[in-house]
Structure 1
Amino acid sequence: MRRRTFLKGSLMGSAAALAVPVVGAAQGAAAAAGTVSVGSIAALQSAIDAAVPGDRIVLANGSYTVPSSGVRIAGKEGTSAAPITIVSASRGGAVLNGPVGFVLSASANITISGFAFRQTSTFAIPADCSRIRLTRNDFKLADRDGLDWVTVRGDDAKIDRNHFHHRGTQGIFLVVDGPGTTAMAQRTHIFRNHFADHSYTGANGGEAIRLGVSHRALSTADAVVEYNLFERCDGDPEAISVKSSGNTIRYNTLRDSKGGIVLRHGNATTVSGNHVLGGANGVRLYGNDHLVVNNHISGTTSRGIVIGSGTTRDHHDGETTEERRGNDACDRAVIAHNTLVGNSATISGESRTYGPRDVVVADNVLVASSGSLVALGSATGFTWQGNILWGSAANGTIPSAGFRRVDPLLRKDADGVHRLTAGSPAVDAATLTSLALAEDADGHARGTARDVGADEYSTLAPVRRPLTTTDVGPNAS
């Protein structure tokens, strides 16, 4: 939710110290054609300076102090088939301390893998770089107020199988911005990462991922955030904070986290196949033309799905900075085939000046034991159809034509997911035939006659389940 980020760590002048020596490490020995093994920061820098496409540079395990000028990767280009790879000898074995780690500029097709980063300033992928991959790294940077740990501004970055963990101050694990003041980095792919233990207690500013910022909201990013695990991400109500347009948030698992998935600014983002298990917040959306489907949200202590209202109808080019920072109402969203069970509030609205309008809420399973299943304020032109409501919670502000009150015959499986059982009235009962939806949350085919909710009844084992620590992070397959 934090609107601006100010880095308090900066690159200082060059320092004389290059490394903490690594006993027994090979110093610059060529291990094989295209592979160079090094055991000091000086040797690492020399190998990078000489690298050509396909080279693999291996830094020996050990603890290194990087000088303030950083390890420079400048004007280096691999190819998509033969990237330049810089890797720790074993995952987490090479620990980089100091004010900065790698400093990238004007480079492409570079892979950085297996390091433990402990630097005191942001790891940045600048706008003049492209196709940079950060994979299987451990990020536990300085726990300094206002320090965002990784920032992406270049196109086609891949951030995968990393572990971001343990901070207690204001600041974000991973930020995706872009060049200039309004553009977004294009096609960022964030997958199989483990985000854990953000314990900042302020009102906001401790997101796990922030995808854009208010002044970039109308720019399409085409980012994909998938198969990530969020645990105890309590630094902000928004664990995944989307402030740009045209993104896909799918197949993620949020466990026991204050933060939820929030489309705070921007339009036309898809939120699909995510599991929110416990914690506080589910999915909250503002802006236009979003698709929210196949999500399973259970046991949250705040709100399952929030259809947001706005201080403005729509954000637009030419509005003031202050106007852009405000909320724009949720219009023309489709919220369908979700299963919400046992949340403190199930589907809720808000009370700002501009209410949501022209939203479709269809074929969802809503179950709770207290409160109201639907609690919307001002809302115009909504379409309610095919929903199944159950439990001792009141129906709330949903028209009678938009639901059936019938037991969906759910079973809570060992993985925490509520799935349909044989004979459920949800089977083959979906009504929103205009929606193209090939699979359910488990990865099973939907077929022609679809079931209500996130689960399509099947006797087959799920293809996708809620993620655990073995599915993500440096050691994931």
Structure 2
Amino acid sequence: MIINKQHIITTIVSIQLFLIGCTCFANEIRVATIDEFNSAIKSAKAGDRIILKNGEWKDVKLVAKGAGTSENPIVIEAEESGKVIITGDSSLKIAGTHLLIKGLWFKNGYTSGKSVISFRVNSKEFASHSRLTDCAITYYNPSTKATDYKWVSVWGKNNRIDHNYFTGKTNSGTTLVVWLKGKEHIDNNHRIDHNYFGERPSLGFNGGETIRIGTSKNSLLSSRTIVEDNVFEKCNGELEIISNKSCDNVYRNNLFLESEGILTLRHGNRCLIESNVFIGNQKPHTGGIRVINAGHVVRNNLMMNLTGDGFRGPIVVMNGVPNSPANRYHQVNNVKIQNNTIINCSPIQLCAGSDDERSLVPINTIFSNNLIYNDKNGDIATIHDKIDGFNFYGNILDTQKNFDQEGFTKMKVNWDTFEDILYIPTETNEELIKNSKLEIKSPKLDITGAKRTTFIAGAYNLGNKKFPKALVLKSGTSWDSKVEPQKTVVNSEIIEVAPGIGTLRKALKKASARSILKLKSGEYILEKGIKITTSITIEGLTKDKKPVLKIKEGIEKKPTYFFRVDGGSTLRLNNLEISANSKEPIKYAVVSPDKNIAESYSVFINNCHIHGFKNKNGGSVYKGYKGTFADTLSIANSRIENAYRGINLSEEKETFGKYSAQVVHIDNTIFKDIEQWALNYYRGGTDESTLGGNLSVQNSVFSNVGNIEKGTILRTKGIVTVNIKNSVFEKSYKVVNPVNLKGNKNTMSNCVVFDCGTVKATKGASVKDVMYKNPKWEDKEKFIPSEKSPLRKQQHIGLKWDTKK
């Protein structure tokens, strides 16, 4: 069952809820310009109401300062909620007491400051007892994704952020941060509730959290912030959807829907995480709760159809670092994980991250009365280290797989389904009652808030056919702040192009989004590099007689590339020959956007012959620049040869965990006579906040690649997921290690390696069925194996000749 907004009942429109605290105001002041606003706020008194006129407010720096009272706040609101549109380089700063901001929409702009909305003007002027409500920030991003600013920065004490709508953040910086820098901001008692946090695409490096409370430096200070009744949908910025970095916070009744990350108790102690609902709908990388530090209680949470592994499991309990510095991992101690229900999820992770550094296993940790149901033949848990410090009891397994650990009882639970969504234990469950272990500190209520009369494992009372609050809460604005792409059907325009000088460029000028340029056989001469600014397909009319793309000889200013793909664009190249064979070969066939472009892009190359890119001044067939990010780079059924370098994704040199492409896919492709490497896919540092890159190589041939001293064929340093299979590596005589795999998600299987060293695998990497034998080609140019070739004797290795022509 796929659960969506219609099932969940969660709404973000038509909410009538704003009681301001007083029905009369000392003054009602209407303003239409920033100067009028500045004049009005300067003289505002308790009870005054400043109304911003509907329309666009561009390049405005709103500073709301004043002293209201609990009975008579100073109110700053839109004439009509959602109709005051704040654009351009704009921001809002709040300082004083009892201010209420309502109905503003920050839309499609950016800020040159540190935050779009900040609850302080400077280090000495900040807000307390103030409220941001019924507002929205959508797609408020700079031109470069590396530019770091927050959308909402919360300072002071006793502030509330509620019923707001936040979606579309693409640049570095947390969406909402609570700061504890200075005694005026400790024990702050903020409340963050009933907000809708919408889609945030993968950032590709640390800094993409949706909420962060505190920092590593002040993580042992108390914040006492409450985060409740919020929706987090497709919040994929990084590993940590919520990053707790302070003490004594509460996270309850929140909904996490199809978000590729996890609620992380990263630093700080004594937090309560209860009655949250995590729904993955089998989407990849979706996770639940990650536990670090001491004194936490994790109870009455529901996890459904989560697929994340490693640090993205449904429940992850980490190992710690001895004498840990503030920014690493403190030992898990005195933690209670109880009465959670886990339905058809990936395995829980115990002692996760165990390595030479993270060697302190959890201690004094109770894992009790959790109910795990799995009818997908999934494993129960992955154990990475000694679990002597856990106290397991009362846990119930209704699963196909066994789990040989005391404190877990496998049994058949009688289930009922509620609204075809929820699995609820029926009232008839005597064995479940019998095997659950009530203790003094067991929760008195279930996930719906109902009193537990008959104690059982899991988040629900027996037969309680009531939705958890997280599935019926009303989040977001009272007005329709949703920003969705228009659902218009775009028919692909077919444009036929004839050979000649500049004909391809002229055709592209006429092309619209999703156009397909059909190239007839012949030569296409480029005088300039071509910039791709939308989604375009360029392809030969037939697979066999490929049109040839070349750069014009003898021109004064030679381009450095054939194609540059701008942010937000997709380039598909099919059935083409791209030749750099000339007196002065140019550097690149395809390059990413220029440096530090916020929007991601994708490139798909199929059935192409790319050759002659021998420029040794940093040249390569493909180049991803620093600060850019490809969603997908796919090369299939192609031939890349006679080049200095192949695919260069190694510009992120810092140790911040950055990398240049989320997915790199190489299938049924030849790399031949490449002086350095076929691929350099790099991720520096040990940061665990992102997915860390994904390389898939299958049914490909690498011949005479990187055949130099200390050469490598595939460089994948720091890339988390590497899967190489059914491929051939040959004739790189000087290479010691053609591939160096590191980490338990790096695998190589069913491959042939000949005359190019041996595969190196460390840190849990897997190498299986690799043969160091001569592949024995019948046709050495087309890499067709002979009848006696070892490629034919086992599972198919090498090119897929049924599809490759």
Give the TM-score of the pair, scaled to structure 1: 0.84
Structure 1 counterpart of 2:259, one-letter code: S
Q: 1:264 to 1:249 in 2, by over 3 A?
A: same
Q: Does 1:222 align with 2:224?
A: yes
Check 1:372–1:476 CA distance in 2 against 1; reply closer, same or farther (3 A cut): farther
1:242 maps to 244
Residue of structure 2 equivalent to 1:422: 427
Please tell me whether the aligned partners of residues 148 and 174 of structure 1 are also in contact (alpha carbons under 8 angstroms): yes
Q: Deviations over 1:21-80 (max 9, x none)?
A: xxxxxxxxxx9853222222222222211211111211121001244xx22223x11011
Asked if the contact 2:373–2:399 (Cα under 8 Å) also holds between the matched residues in 1, the reply is yes
The structure number with the bigger radius of gyration is 2
Partner of 1:136: 134
Q: Deviations over 1:308-364 (max 9, x none)?
A: 111136x6xxxxxxx111111211100101001111113433112101011011111
- Provide the C-alpha distance between the structure 2 equivalents of 1:379 and 1:476, rounded to a whole number of angstroms: 50
**5+ residue gaps, structure 2:** 1-23, 481-805
Correspondence for 2:269? 267
1:39 alignment partner, one of 24, 32, 45: 32
Shift of 1:460: 5.3
Matched residue, 2:233: 231
Measure the CA separation in 1 of the matches of 2:340 and 2:251.
Answer: 15
1:146-295 aligned within 5 A: 146-180=148-182, 184=186, 186-278=188-280, 279=283, 280-295=286-301
In structure 2, the partner of 1:353 is: 359
- Give the Cα–Cα distance (whole angstroms) in 2 for the partners of residues 57 and 181 of structure 1: 32
| Structure 2 CA distance for aligned equivalents of residues 172 and 61 of structure 1 | 29
| Equivalent of 1:407 in 412, 432, 436 | 412
Partner of 1:12: none
- 1:103–1:454 Cα change, 3 Å: same
Alpha-carbon separation, structure 1, partners of 2:211 and 2:81: 23
Amino acid paired to 2:428? G
Asked whether the equivalents of residues 134 and 478 of structure 2 are also in contact (C-alpha less than 8 Å), the reply is: yes
* 2:387 maps to 1:379: yes
What is the distance in 2 between the residues matched to 1:200 and 1:382?
Answer: 34
Unaligned runs of 5+ in 1: 1-30, 316-322
2:305 alignment partner in structure 1: 299
Match of 1:362 among 358, 368, 372: 368
1:64 and 2:57 are equivalent in the alignment: yes
- From 83, 87, 90, the equivalent of 1:93 is 83
- Any idea what SS the aligned residue of 2:168 has? strand
Deviations 1:409-460 (A, max 9, x none): 233433733221231243475323211523211121113x312100112455
| Range moving further from structure 2, 427-436 or 235-244 | 427-436
| Residue identity opposite 1:142 in structure 2 | N
Confirm or deny: 8 A CA contact 2:26 2:47 kept in the other structure: no
> 1:381 & 1:413 partners in 2: Cα distance?
37
**Alpha-carbon distance, 1:147 to partner:** 1.7
Secondary structure class of the residue paired with 1:129: strand
Deviation, structure 1 residue 466 = 1.7
Q: Does 1:50 align with 2:43?
A: yes
For residues 147-193 of structure 1, the C-alpha deviation after alignment (integer angstroms, 9 at most, x for no partner) is 21111121111010111101223221101112339964611100000
SS at match of 1:44: helix
Which residue in 1 is equivalent to 2:734?
none
Contact residue 66 and residue 97 of structure 1 kept, 8 A: yes
Return the match for 2:477 from 470, 474, 477.
474
Count of residues in Structure 1 that have an aligned counterpart in Structure 2: 429
Amino-acid identity (%)? 27
Corresponding residue SS for 2:98: strand
Letter in 2 for 1:233: C
Q: Higher relative CO (CA 8 A, sep ≥ 6), structure 1 or 2?
A: 1
Give the conservation status (yes or no) of the 8 Å contact 2:193–2:229: yes
Specify the alignment match of 1:331 in structure 2.
Answer: 333
Matches of 1:415 and 1:139, distance apart in 2 = 34
Match of 2:400 among 374, 384, 392: 392
CA RMSD between the two structures: 2.3
